Amino acid sequence: MKVVVQRVSNASVTVDGQLVSSIKKGLCILVGLSRDDTDKDLEYMSRKVLNLRVFEAADGKRWACGVRDSGLEVLCVSQFTLYGKLQGNKPDFRRAMGGVEARQLYQRFVDRLRDEYSSEKVKDGLFAAYMQVSIQNDGPVTITLESPSGGGADGSADSAEPS
């Protein structure tokens, strides 16, 4: 499982000109699922995302608080293209999880975030829709994370924390 986390001032998703979801200050999370991902990956990633310290504390200390600590919002957007690999100049998405299975796993991820944090503060886009995502990146701050199983061809994964 791979996510791109952006600290945002606001973010929204529209489909066919209709607003689907929007948040104010918080995190916009682009979520990619690989063929190898399981519920264990969801557990790992939900914990990392909710505890990622990219916000200032009330005393002004930088990189001190996570979204949960600050009571901010989260917008999740499914993005299978995160597992695209170039074959010449054309992207190949074979590493991405298939539609039906991905829809179920993605929904379990969103549900997990809601259960662990707040059902009112966690929003999402429209799975498998052609979406327009508007992101007002704050900072800008963008962090990429990958679960330990990684779903990568070589099994490697990025980590946001030192070993």
Is residue 109 annotated as part of the catalytic site, yes or no?
Answer: no
Report the CATH fold assignment for 2-146.
Answer: D-tyrosyl-trna(Tyr) Deacylase; Chain: A; (3.50.80)
- The whole-chain average pLDDT of the chain stands at 92
Is 143 buried (19+), middle (13-18) or exposed (0-12) by CB count in 10 A? Answer: middle
Is position 79 annotated as part of the catalytic site?
yes
- Render pLDDT for 49-84 as a digit per residue (tens, 0 to 9): 999 999 999 999 999 999 999 999 999 999 999 999
Catalytic site includes residue 14: no
Catalytic one among 38, 81, 104, 144?
Answer: 81
pLDDT tens digits for 75-118? Answer: 999 999 999 999 999 999 999 999 999 999 999 999 999 999 99
Q: Quick one: pLDDT at residue 149?
A: 80
- Does residue 8 carry a pLDDT above 70? yes
Q: What are the counts of helices (DSSP H) followed by strands (DSSP E) for the chain?
A: 3, 8
Determine how β-strand 85-87 pairs with β-strand 122-124: unpaired
Q: pLDDT tier at 146 (50, 70, 90 boundaries)?
A: very high
What's the pTM?
Answer: 0.90
- Across 64-100, b (16+ Cβ under 10 Å) vs e yields ebbbbebebbbbbbbbbebbbeeeeeeeeeebbbeee
Q: Where are the domains of the chain?
A: 2-146
Q: Alpha helices of the chain — where are they, by DSSP H?
A: 39-51, 67-70, 99-116
